[in-house]
């Protein structure tokens, strides 16, 4: 791809270098689509239920979303940390209906009463709208039932207008649960639940609506995620609750953040570093080399599948050209640019 761009002379034409097919950068949220996965609801689950138990209950034939997409959402009240219910996403609506039908047939034919742990549970068809309402209960002014979701800003009552999908208070409370400040009894019974709640929040957050997401709200979620990754890393190293707080849970949390289109390259690099993520895993998740030097870029990301040499070539072009332009400026302007560069990165030149 790089050879095709640079051609025989080793320098691309202006037409080629700005062609969308070659440019390796994007604002990824703009390419996201709203999920239309089928959803079922499992009610009356025990608080201490694990993700593995939900998978076992559904059976091997259940065609849920792939594991990387985190199809199981065991909802947790961010205030009390109690588990309420579980939602499971399937590859299609028909697959969700099949799962509910299989459950109902087992009851109707007196084969057995499906249980999770010692509890009889209820399985019903649900929807993306209901799942989103439960995951983002404080979000007002969002019509989750519509496709795509619609935002209300001119409601008769101001408190019914949209102000955001999450609040800083919600994220703070979520962190408090893993740090043992809130409801330690629940946290001790099922210490992984708050981390799984963060995974579900990151995966289901409506990133496909970037025009309604502020940098402040995004950074609030990122700060909570980074804080929780560090806390989980420390708890695992101490051998705390090894049957619940596992390296796999840490990997799931870190991967959910790194695969998120809303976080910046530098933010993802901080999470990967704190989680001790291996280099090959970072590359699989689309992280470029020298990601720590992207710290001044708030929303710019790389396109999925773009080769590393193309990314680094474009950065080199930006560095060379901005440096050339800076050299033609007056002394005072050069001093200002150099001072600004010290707070960003000379890897990108004066960009």
Shared-domain flag, residues 137 and 220: yes
The whole-angstrom separation of Cα 349 and Cα 351 is 6
Asked if residues 29 and 260 have their Cβ atoms less than 8 Å apart, the reply is: no
**Residue 209 covered by a domain:** yes
Give the tens place of pLDDT for each residue, 127-139.
999 999 999 999 9
**Cα–Cα dist 202/200, whole Å:** 6
Output the pLDDT for position 160.
87
- The burial of 335, by beta-carbon neighbours within 10 Å (0-12 exposed, 13-18 middle, 19 or more buried), is given as exposed
* Vertex 127 angle, CA 90 and 106, to 5°: 60
Residue at token pair 């998120």: 260
* Whether the Cβ atoms of residue 98 and residue 27 lie closer than 8 Å to each other: no
* Residues 316, 216 within the same domain: no
pLDDT of residue 181: 58
Same domain, 64 and 147: yes
Element (H, E) at 321: helix 308-327
Give the pLDDT confidence of 204-240 residue by residue, as tens digits.
999 999 999 999 999 999 999 999 999 999 999 999 8
pLDDT of residue 78: 74
Is the domain of 65 the same as that of 173?
yes
Structure-derived torsion over alpha carbons of residues 334, 335, 339, 344, reported in degrees to the nearest 10 = 10
CA–CA gap between residue 284 and residue 280 (Å, rounded):
6
Tracing tokens 């072009």 back to the chain, one arrives at: 317
Helices 247-258 and 265-274 cross at an angle (nearest 10°) of 170
**Residue 7, domain extent:** 2-24+306-348
Joined tokens for residue 171: 């994220």
The tokens describing 343, both together, are: 């707070």
How many domains are there within the chain?
A: 2
Q: How far apart are CA 179 and CA 113, in angstroms?
A: 38
Regarding whether 7 and 51 lie in a shared domain, the answer is: no
344 and 278 in a common domain: no
| Domain identity same for 117 and 170 | yes
Q: Is residue 254 part of a domain?
A: yes
Q: Is residue 125 part of a domain?
A: yes
pLDDT at 187: 64
With 60 as the cut, is the pLDDT of residue 50 above it? yes
- Are 76 and 48 within one domain? yes
Task: Show which of 294, 314, 335 is a domain's final residue.
Answer: 294
Q: What confidence tier does 185 reach under pLDDT thresholds 50, 70, 90?
A: low
Among 253, 270, 294, the domain boundary falls at 294
First-residue to last-residue Cα distance in the chain: 24
pLDDT tens-digit series, residues 286-303: 899 999 999 888 888 898
Question: Would you state the pLDDT for residue 70?
Answer: 95
285-302 burial, b at 16+ Cβ within 10 Å, e below that, comes to bbbbeebebbbebebebb
Grade residue 154 by pLDDT with cuts at 50, 70 and 90. Answer: confident
Contact 171, 79 (CB under 8 A): no
The tens digit of pLDDT for each residue in 94-125 reads 999 999 999 888 888 876 677 888 888 999 99
> Does 329 lie in the same domain as 207?
no
Mean pLDDT of 77-93: 85
Instruction: Please say if the pLDDT value at position 182 is more than 60.
Output: no
For residues 275, 281, 285 and 291, what is the CA-based torsion angle, rounded to 10 degrees? Answer: 70
End-of-domain residue from the set 253, 269, 294 = 294
Looking at the predicted structure, is the pLDDT value of residue 183 above 60? no
> Are 124 and 104 in a shared domain?
yes
Answer yes or no: do 286 and 342 share one domain. Answer: no
Rounded to an integer, the average pLDDT of 267-280 is 95
Residue 252 binned pLDDT confidence (cut-offs 50, 70, 90): very high
Please indicate, yes or no, whether residues 342 and 224 belong to a single structural domain of this protein. no
Q: How confident is the prediction for the chain on average, in pLDDT?
A: 90
Nearest-angstrom CA–CA distance, 297 and 264 = 7
Summarised one tens digit per residue, pLDDT across range 55-76 is 999 988 899 999 999 999 999 8
Is 224 among the domain residues?
yes
**Where is average pLDDT lowest: 205-209, 256-260, 341-345?**
341-345
**What's the pTM value of the predicted model, to 2 decimals?**
0.90
Give yes or no for residue 184 having a pLDDT over 60: no
Between the alpha carbon of residue 258 and those of residues 267, 281, 332, 336, the distances in Å are 9, 10, 40, 34
7-46 confidence digits (pLDDT tens): 877 788 888 899 999 999 988 787 788 999 999 999 989 8
In this structure, is residue 300 part of a structural domain?
no
Note whether residue 182 is domain-resident: yes
Domain contains 153: yes
Whether 177 is covered by a domain: the verdict is: yes
> Which of 154, 123, 147 is closest to 206 using CA atoms?
147
Q: What is the CATH number of the domain that holds 283?
A: 3.30.70.330
Q: Write the pLDDT tens digit of every residue in 314-327.
A: 999 999 999 999 99
Among residues 271, 239, 238, 267, the alpha carbon closest in space to that of 253 is found at: 271
Does the pLDDT at position 334 exceed 80?
Answer: yes
């Amino acid at each position: 791809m790089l050879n095709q761009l640079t051609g025989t002379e080793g320098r691309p034409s202006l037409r080629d270098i700005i062609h969308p097919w070659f440019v390796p950068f994007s604002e990824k949220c703009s390419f996201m689509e709203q999920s239309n996965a089928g959803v079922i609801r499992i009610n009356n689950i025990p608080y201490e239920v694990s993700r593995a138990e939900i998978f076992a209950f559904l059976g091997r034939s259940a065609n849920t979303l792939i594991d990387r997409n985190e199809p199981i959402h065991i909802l947790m009240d961010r205030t009390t940390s109690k588990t309420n219910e579980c939602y499971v996403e399937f590859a299609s609506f028909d697959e969700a209906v099949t799962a509910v039908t299989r459950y109902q047939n087992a009851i109707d034919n007196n084969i057995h009463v499906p249980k999770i742990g010692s509890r009889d549970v209820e399985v019903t068809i649900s929807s993306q709208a209901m799942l989103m309402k439960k995951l983002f209960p404080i979000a007002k002014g969002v019509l989750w039932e519509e496709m795509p979701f619609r935002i209300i800003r001119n409601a008769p009552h101001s408190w019914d207008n949209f102000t955001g999908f999450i609040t800083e208070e919600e994220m703070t409370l979520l962190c408090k649960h893993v740090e043992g400040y809130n409801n330690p009894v629940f946290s001790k019974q099922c210490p992984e639940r708050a981390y799984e709640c963060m995974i579900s929040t990151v995966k289901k957050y409506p990133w496909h609506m970037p025009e309604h997401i502020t940098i402040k709200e995004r950074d609030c979620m990122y700060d909570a995620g980074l804080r929780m990754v560090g806390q989980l890393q420390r708890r695992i190293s101490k051998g705390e609750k090894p049957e619940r707080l596992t390296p796999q849970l840490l990997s799931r949390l870190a991967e959910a953040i790194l695969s998120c289109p809303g976080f910046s390259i530098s933010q993802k690099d901080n999470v990967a570093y704190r989680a001790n993520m291996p280099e090959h895993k970072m590359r699989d998740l689309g992280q470029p080399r020298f990601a720590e030097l992207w710290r001044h870029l708030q929303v710019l990301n790389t396109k999925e599948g773009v080769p590393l040499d193309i990314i680094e070539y474009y950065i080199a072009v930006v560095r060379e050209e901005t440096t050339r332009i800076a050299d033609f400026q007056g002394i005072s302007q050069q001093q200002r640019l150099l001072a600004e560069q010290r707070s960003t990165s000379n890897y990108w030149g004066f960009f």
